[in-house]
Amino acid sequence: MLGWQDNKRLVEILEAFAYGGFAYYLHKSSLSKCVSLKCRIRCWFYGCFCPPEEKSLPFYFRKVIECLGPTFIKLGQILSLRPDFIPVEYCDELRKLQDKVPPFSFEDVKQIVEEDLGQPWSKLFSRFDEQPIASASIAQVHKAKLKDGTLVAVKVQRPQLVERIEQDLRVISWVVDFMERKWEKCRPYRPIKLAEEFSDWTRREIDFRNEAKYMSEVRENFKGNRVAVIPRVFWDLTTRRVLVMQFIEGCNMYDEHCLAKSKINRKKLATTGARLMFEQAIVHGIFHGDPHPGNLVAMRQNKLGFLDFGIIGRLPKDLRKRLLLILSHLVRKEFDEAIKHTLEIAETSTESNIQGYKSKLYSIFSSWYGSTVLEATMTKAFFNAIAEGVHHKVYFPPDLVLFSKMLVTTESVGALLNPDFDISVHARPFIEETMRAEMSPIKFIKGFIKNALEYGEFIEELPMYIIKLIKKIEEHERKDN
Ligand SMILES: Nc1ncnc2c1ncn2[C@@H]1O[C@H](COP(=O)(O)OP(=O)(O)O)[C@@H](O)[C@H]1O
Ligand SMILES: [Mg+2]
């Protein structure tokens, strides 16, 4: 049961969806009973309870999400990474979510920092820029200088954020429970499970100590690496609502002028990015979940800075090994084997349509391989394969889904950096090959598999490189323990 205030918010949310083009679905799930009479009459009057034109719905979904505030923007961002929960068209649309909101006042920033850090302002910083560098629905980031002269980025959470988010989470939980009970058609998409996962993520993300912990962990994993730059966390200045970290100086990936001025080799940086992401996921087992251009910094000497560790993925060793097997079979066109191993990591039940899924996988993989279309890359094929699961009631571990999405993001950042990716260039097959061979994170394995094949070094069914990589994973873990 929801309290009075929560009920008010429930109506507000449902009406936003009703007016935003989703009245038909509210009607189908019986949620239309919860909206006001005025809203119901208007919906009847305008025929909104009829099946809508599905093509434009993802766009309207994004618009509704944008106007519902921080919880929903966060939900949208997370959903955009989860093709196992929502259709791919929705994921693509949600990538465009605008998360730029007017900054909150500097007075509030000061108050939160002083309250949380327990010291007067002037004792902590020698400089603090009033104008934030970025201002989003959860937090804003200011550039500042510590007393010892170190430049830092200070991420400060919006005032009263937790209360608003907690209320929305209660409402969402009520809605999904209602939907799953009343509307059978939505059950394969497992709304309750989705809402639980989402709530966990969001609660973790609004405590900045978690982000700081992940950031430190990834930084530690890259100790000694000369190209990966992860901000150092100032732990004694970090709390639930304030995160103080090393300031990362560099260029935005879209800033052509800055990239040129800093003499950044874009092609090299693209390859570096792919390798670093792959190393995080496969060797370290913890990876940045959303390496889109806004969370990356192109630095001098072709170094790459990573920001925003709000969403991370973890791949246990066993999963990493299986993943490598799938990828290595894929690059060798051994689809039957790739499909077999893909199914091994899936969660299936008697309700799963395994045969249907298998043939879908076969068609995804073979059409990728036979395709001359530039956008058809192996990472996209892998991503589509995972995303397709839900339609056959075949489910994958959330971190694996995040991994497949991360590969696609990494590849699109690579494409952004390397002008050869221009689709209008005539030499399409050549570029396609370059992209597959040079840019794709998969090149990393592919090159080594080629070597292994040349030297005929096979143990059981594993190519040599895979064995080396697994050894590296194990060494890394031994070091950790
Ligand atoms: N350590 C840092 N050094 C330099 N700029 C930073 C740093 N951390 C964040 N920023 C800037 O603030 C922006 C928002 O930070 P981010 O952690 O991505 O927040 P959000 O979760 O709102 O996306 C980044 O895109 C970047 O421009
Ligand atoms: Mg960000």
CA distance 414 to 268: 10
Instruction: Please tell me what DSSP assigns to residue 4.
Output: H
Q: What is the pLDDT of residues 347-399, one digit of tens each?
A: 988 989 999 999 999 998 888 776 655 556 777 788 889 999 988 999 999 99
The pLDDT of residue 109 is above 70 = yes
438 pLDDT more than 70 = no
Average pLDDT of every residue of the chain: 84
Average pLDDT rounded to a whole number, residues 257-282: 87
With beta carbons less than 8 A apart as the criterion, state whether 269 and 302 touch. Answer: yes
Q: Which atom of ligand 1 is nearest to the CA of 205?
A: 21
Which ligand 1 atom minimizes the distance to the CA of 138? 22
| Least distant ligand from the CA of 297 | 1
The ligand 1 atom nearest the CA atom of 310: 21
Centre of ligand 1 from the C-alpha of residue 136, in Å = 10
How far apart CA 79 and CA 91 sit, in angstroms, is 6
Rounded Cα–Cα distance for residues 142 and 134 (Å): 7
Supply the pLDDT for residue 412: 82
Q: What is the model's pLDDT at position 172? A: 95
CB 95 within 8 A of CB 105: no
Give the model confidence (pLDDT) of 303-327 as tens digits.
999 999 999 999 998 888 777 777 7
- Contact present, 219 and 89 (Cβ < 8 Å): no
* pLDDT score of 445: 57
User: Can you tell me the distance from the alpha carbon of 202 to that of 223, in angstroms, rounded to the nearest whole number?
Assistant: 29
**Tell me, what's the pLDDT at 129?**
96
Q: Which atom of ligand 1 is nearest to the CA of 211?
A: 17
Strand, coil or helix: 312 = strand
- Parallel, antiparallel or unpaired: strands 303-306 and 296-299: antiparallel
Task: Considering every ligand atom shown, identify the ligand nearest to the alpha carbon of residue 250 and give its number.
Answer: 1
Which residue owns the Cα nearest ligand 1 atom 22? Answer: 136
Q: Can you tell me the distance from the alpha carbon of 62 to that of 81, in angstroms, rounded to the nearest whole number?
A: 14
Q: Report residues whose beta carbon is within 6 angstroms of any ligand 1 atom.
A: 133-134, 136, 138-139, 141, 153, 155, 231, 245, 247-248, 294-295, 307-308, 310
> What is the per-residue pLDDT for 430?
31
Specify the pLDDT at position 427: 28
Going from the Cα of 288 to the center of ligand 2, the distance in angstroms, rounded, reads 11
The β-bridge relationship of strands 286-288 and 303-306 is unpaired
The pLDDT, as a whole number, for residue 471 is: 57
Is residue 467 predicted with pLDDT exceeding 80? no
- CA–centroid distance, residue 285 to ligand 2 (Å): 21
Rg (CA), the chain: 24
What is the mean predicted confidence (pLDDT) over 461-471? 51
Distance 98 CA to ligand 2 centre (A): 12
DSSP secondary structure of 80-142: TT-TTTS-HHHHHHHTT-----PPPPHHHHHHHHHHHH-S-HHHHEEEE-SS-SEE-SSEEEE
12-65 pLDDT, tens digit each: 999 999 888 888 888 888 888 888 888 888 877 777 777 777 778 899 999 999
- What spatial distance separates the first Cα and last Cα of the chain, rounded to whole Å? 46
Considering every ligand atom, which ligand is closest to the CA of 305? 1
Buried/exposed code over 336-368 (b: 16+ C-beta within 10 A; e: otherwise)? ebbbebbbebbebeeebeeeebbebbeebbeeb
Residue labelled with tokens 């980025």: 153
Nearest CA to ligand 1 atom 21: 308
A 10 A CB-CB count for 388 gives: 19
Query: Measured in angstroms, how far is the CA atom of residue 150 from the centroid of ligand 2?
Result: 22
Q: Is the pTM of this model over 0.85?
A: no
List active site positions.
290
Whose CA is closest to atom 18 on ligand 1?
A: 308
User: Which run of H or of E encompasses 203?
Assistant: helix 191-205
Q: Per DSSP, what are the bridge partners of residue 145? A: 127, 151
Q: Cα–Cα distances in Å, from 124 out to 128, 151, 244?
A: 10, 12, 11
What secondary structure letter does DSSP report for 426?
S
Q: Which of 197-211, 246-260, 273-287 is the least confident region? A: 273-287
Query: Measured from the CA of 247, which atom of ligand 1 is nearest?
Result: 3
Distances (CA, A) of 247 to 27, 141, 309, 320: 50, 11, 15, 32
User: Does the pLDDT at position 459 exceed 60?
Assistant: no
Whole-number Å distance, alpha carbon 456 to ligand 2 midpoint, is: 45
8 Å CB contact between 442 and 411: no
* DSSP secondary structure string for all residues of 213-269: HHHHHHHHHTTT-SSEE-PPB-GGG--SSEEEEE----B-TT-HHHHHHTT--HHHH
Q: Best mutation site among 135, 138, 141, 155 for ligand 1, i.e. most ligand atoms within 8 A of its Cβ?
A: 141
pLDDT at residue 141, rounded to an integer: 97
Probe residue for ligand 1, chosen from 101, 133, 143, 303 as the CB with the greatest number of ligand atoms within 8 Å: 133
Beta bridge mates, 139? 157
Domains of the chain: 100-247 (3.30.200), 313-480 (no CATH)
User: Among all ligands shown, which has an atom nearest to the Cα of 153?
Assistant: 1
How many other C-beta atoms can be found within 10 angstroms of the C-beta atom of residue 69?
17
Query: Does residue 126 carry a pLDDT above 70?
Result: yes
Q: Which residues pair with 154 in a beta bridge?
A: 142, 244
pLDDT of 455: 36
Query: Is pLDDT larger for residue 1 or for residue 428?
Result: 1
Q: Of 285, 287, 150, 282, whose CA–CA distance to 228 is shortest?
A: 287
- CA dihedral (204, 207, 209, 211) in degrees, to 10, reads 50
Q: How many residues does the chain have?
A: 481
Q: Which residue has the tokens 């910094």?
A: 297
The closest of 177, 156, 164, 163 to 72, measured between CA atoms, is: 164
Q: What is the distance between the alpha carbons of residues 438 and 60, in angstroms, rounded to a whole number?
A: 38
Pairing of strands 139-146, 228-229: unpaired
Between the CA of residue 395 and those of 181, 186, 192, 400, 402, what are the distances in Å?
Answer: 21, 15, 15, 10, 13
